[in-house]
Amino acid sequence: MNAQQVHVRKGALTDAVLAEVPFPPLPEGAVRLQVESFSVTANNVTYAVVGDGFRYWDFFPAPEGLGIVPMWGHARVIESRHPEIAVGERVYGYLPMASHLDVVPGRVSAGGFSDTLEHRQPMSPVYNSYTRLAADPEHDPAREAERMIFGPLFRTGFLIEYFLRGQDWFGAEQLVVTSASSKTAMGLASVARQTSPGIRRIGLTSKGNVAFVAASGLYDEVLAYDDLERLAVVRSVSVDFAGNADLLARIHRHFEDALAQSVLVGATHIEARSVFGKGEPLPGPKPQMFFAPDHAVAFFKAHGAEEGGRLVAAAWHAFLEAAEGTIAIERLAGLEAARSVFTAMVAGQINPAKGIVIEP
């Protein structure tokens, strides 16, 4: 019996193939997971675009020149050589675009465990943790799709807002968000609306997405990228999810010294992604990369696991209520569908009003 994996060419992300890989023997202490479902979002495109720089390709090894894109989803234990993990148990966490994953659980508790495989240890512990659904207070069987589609992205938005609020928004009056239709941007806007109502929320998006973004109700104002220069020049913070160098430059040149902080998060516009730190200097503050896992570690260190979890959960449930009906969930079967959806998403051909769940 073989496992299936989607192998993506690192230098040409629209070049992806379905591969069969023989199962290795399962060593003592290891567990074999069968992937049940995962979502494919713009976040996964970001993982691939910045994969070498942030080591996203290192979680799930592939042949030279190829990579396996990480996904967030659910899996079931189909074989266990670990005394504390039973066959049939379900988990949620970081999974490959594949049919199976072998892990070696460590730091096992009623709520979860970490994969202790050596090659994963240099990366953030946030990505190596798996939640055991039987004891997970956030798990709702009726909302599994929403958790896969929005959950990791929402948490990044939550952490961005927490960081900016902790800096008193750098004295800004408004938040300017690019790729406002992206799920991370929507999460940020939702949390800002809840906890920083004095900050005006501006969403920038492509002309075709303006109606969708406006209908979400998460922004005070929504503009197409072509209309950016219509924005009032007041003290602002920008959060760039697009990774488009020209767009970022336009924001800096429009606001100049009124731009209090420039935060870089994602890279959804692959065809025009920035090479950060190169080229002529931009007016205003130097753009700063935001790496969510580091902020997550700091957040939970400051608040503790229980209180931190409560804060995130409260904001999450409010976001689910706000986002109700904004996404039409589409379920597709098989890894060939995953391959096709991912390459279409890289090419910018997926409607942001769709939330796509793959069931391998």
| Structure confidence by residue, pLDDT tens digits, 268-318 | 444 434 444 445 678 899 999 888 888 988 998 899 877 887 888 888 888
**Sheet arrangement for strand 259-264:** 221-224, 200-205, 174-177, 236-240, 259-264, 288-289
CA separation for the pair 246, 33 (Å, rounded) = 43
Looking at residues 327-341, what average pLDDT do you find? 93
The pLDDT value given to residue 275: 42
Q: Could you give the 3-state DSSP secondary structure of residue 62?
A: coil
Per CATH, the architecture of 2-136+327-359 is what?
Answer: Alpha-Beta Complex (3.90)
Could you report the per-residue pLDDT of 231-267, keeping only the tens digit for each?
A: 999 999 999 988 888 999 999 999 999 999 999 986 5
Structure tokens at 31: 């567990």
Residue 207 has pLDDT above 50, yes or no: yes
CA separation for the pair 224, 227 (Å, rounded) = 5
Residues whose CB is less than 8 angstroms from the CB of residue 73 and which lie 6 or more positions away in sequence, other chains included: 35, 36, 37, 38, 39, 92, 93, 95, 148, 358
Q: Could you give the 3-state DSSP secondary structure of residue 238?
A: strand
* Cα–Cα distance list, 148 to 352, 357, 358 (Å): 15, 8, 10
- Domains of the chain, by residue range, sit at 2-136+327-359, 148-293
Could you report the per-residue pLDDT of 9-53, keeping only the tens digit for each?
A: 999 999 999 999 999 999 999 999 999 999 998 788 888 988 888
The pLDDT value given to residue 136: 81
Residue 218 has pLDDT above 90, yes or no: yes
C-alpha closest to that of 82 among 50, 117, 52, 56: 117
Chain-wide mean pLDDT for the chain? Answer: 90
Could you report the per-residue pLDDT of 63-93, keeping only the tens digit for each?
A: 999 999 999 999 999 999 999 999 999 999 9
Looking at 69-78, 82-91, 113-122, 320-329, which range is the least confident one? 320-329
Residue 329 has pLDDT above 80, yes or no: yes
Residue 199 has pLDDT above 70, yes or no: yes
- Mind giving me the DSSP string for 242-255? S-BHHHHHHHHHHH
> Cα 114 to chain center, whole Å?
19
CA separation for the pair 264, 255 (Å, rounded) = 16
CB count in 10 Å sphere of residue 77 = 20
Q: How much is the pTM?
A: 0.78
Structure tokens at 245: 């160098």
CATH homologous superfamily for the domain 148-293: NAD(P)-binding Rossmann-like Domain (3.40.50.720)
Which helix (H) or strand (E) element contains residue 52?
A: helix 51-54
174 bridge partner residues: 200, 236
Residue 222 has pLDDT above 50, yes or no: yes
